Amino acid sequence: MEASKLPERAFQSKTASSSNTFQSKTALPQHLRLQKTVGFDTAPQDHLFQLIGQILEADNLPLSELHKTQKGLLTLRLAEQNQLKSSRGPFEKLWRRATGNELRGELLEAVQNFVRLVVMPDLGTDCVVHQPLPTLRIHLPHTGKNLGGRHRDGDYYRQPTEVNYWVPLTRVGGSNSLWAESEPGREDFRPFEGHWGSCTRFWGNQCEHYTVENETETTRVSFDLRCVPAALYDDDYRSPLSKKDKAHFRLGQGYIRTTKV
Residue 49: the pLDDT is 97
Q: How far from chain centre, in Å, is Cα 118?
A: 16
Sign of CA dihedral 44, 93, 159, 233: negative
Whether the predicted pLDDT of 7 surpasses 80: no
Whether the predicted pLDDT of 162 surpasses 90: yes
Residue 88: the pLDDT is 59
Verdict on whether the full-model pTM lies above 0.95 = no
224, 164 contact by CB (below 8 A): yes
Mean pLDDT, residues 218-231 taken together: 97
What stretch of H or E contains 227? strand 220-229
Angle of helix 103-114 relative to helix 46-55, nearest 10 degrees?
140
30-57 residue pLDDT tens: 999 999 999 999 999 999 999 999 999 9
Residue 139: the pLDDT is 93
12-22 residue pLDDT tens: 444 434 444 55
Domains of the chain: 26-259 (2.60.120)
Residue 243: the pLDDT is 82
10-to-19, 132, 213, 219 alpha-carbon distances in Å: 18, 29, 10, 20
Residue 10: the pLDDT is 40
Mean pLDDT of the chain, nearest integer: 88
Higher pLDDT, 90 or 216: 216
DSSP 33: G
193-206 residue pLDDT tens: 999 999 999 999 99
55-107 residue pLDDT tens: 999 988 999 999 999 999 988 988 888 887 765 578 888 998 888 887 899 99
Mean pLDDT, residues 130-153 taken together: 93
114, 48 contact by CB (below 8 A): yes
